[in-house]
């Protein structure tokens, strides 16, 4: 499956998982002006990734936007040449990376890529992208039940419904 990333250079390259994936040849860095018509994980998307995205991902690939969580509110997503209808959010998951460990939604690039692959049914590839990253097993362990639950949904609406039910149930504890 084709995997691409738009890098904005906002992170420390020594700690940036997106930069490391490019270095390890796990993902291709795209020029910001390059058009990409696959599924793109983007915080400004309007629907969640789901197993229904698998066919498009197999045909056109998956893309990431590598920008800093600290600068997300000021980020101009129009700089990236992607189809707005193919933007996807990730549902509730918990980070295992060393910078945002235990924080909900604060996944880094390799965690986001792995989660998306897992949710659409590419579980072996989801595990494989963590090669060279020490926290991969921890991420998959922390989120195993959620990833399994999301991967059983038919579409984005079901993923969001399952996420909301999970959050409501765990809010009461």
17 in a labelled binding site: yes
89 in a labelled binding site: no
With vertex at residue 95, the alpha carbon angle to CA 7 and CA 54, rounded to the nearest 5 degrees, is 65
90 in a labelled binding site: yes
* CA gap 131, 124 in Å, rounded: 12
The 10 Å Cβ neighbour count of residue 161 is: 13
65 in a labelled binding site: yes
* CA gap 15, 52 in Å, rounded: 33
Question: Binding site for S-adenosyl-L-methionine, residues?
Answer: 17, 65, 90, 105
Question: Binding site, residues?
Answer: 17, 65, 90, 105
């Amino acid at each position: 499956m084709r995997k691409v990333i738009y890098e904005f250079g906002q992170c420390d390259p020594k700690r940036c998982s997106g930069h490391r994936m490019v270095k390890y040849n796990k993902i291709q860095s795209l020029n910001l002006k390059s058009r990409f018509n696959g599924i793109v994980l983007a915080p400004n998307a309007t629907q969640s990734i789901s197993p229904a995205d698998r066919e498009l991902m197999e045909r056109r690939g998956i893309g990431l936007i590598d920008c800093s969580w600290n600068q997300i509110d000021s980020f101009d997503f129009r700089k990236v040449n992607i189809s707005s209808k193919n933007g996807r959010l990730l549902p509730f998951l918990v980070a295992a990376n060393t910078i945002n460990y235990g924080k909900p939604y604060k996944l880094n690039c390799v965690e986001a890529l792995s989660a998306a692959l897992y949710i659409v049914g590419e579980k072996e590839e989801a595990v494989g992208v963590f090669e060279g990253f020490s926290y991969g097993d921890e991420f998959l362990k922390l989120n195993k039940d959620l990833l399994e639950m999301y991967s059983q949904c038919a579409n984005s609406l079901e993923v969001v419904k399952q996420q909301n039910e999970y959050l409501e149930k765990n809010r009461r504890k």
